[in-house]
Amino acid sequence: MTKYDAQADSAGSYAAAVEAKRLRGDTHWPEPKQRAPDPETEREIKRLKRALDRKLREAGHG
């Protein structure tokens, strides 16, 4: 008995759904959704940008 592979099952289900839609003539495909930014990552990026700007000002480049 083979072990259940959720990722392969998901990919197979998606491919089957796309093929069924293609066969019935669907032409509209929704745009892929963008992931929402992670608030902690956004804060860290802003902090790093401020630090870079400060270092550039101190070096006379800003």
Q: For the chain, what are the domain ranges? A: 38-62
Identify the pLDDT of residue 29.
67
What was the pLDDT predicted at 46?
95
What is the C-alpha separation between 34 and 20, in angstroms, rounded? 25
- What is the average pLDDT score of the chain? 87
pLDDT digits (tens, 9 = 90+) for 24-53: 988 876 776 787 888 999 999 999 999 999
Can you give the C-alpha Rg of the chain in angstroms? 23
18: its two tokens? 């796309």
- Taking CA atoms, 47 is separated from 33, 42, 51, in Å, by 27, 9, 6
| Residue 58 pLDDT | 93
pLDDT > 90: what percent of the chain? Answer: 40
Tokens at 24, concatenated: 């019935």
| pTM summary value | 0.41
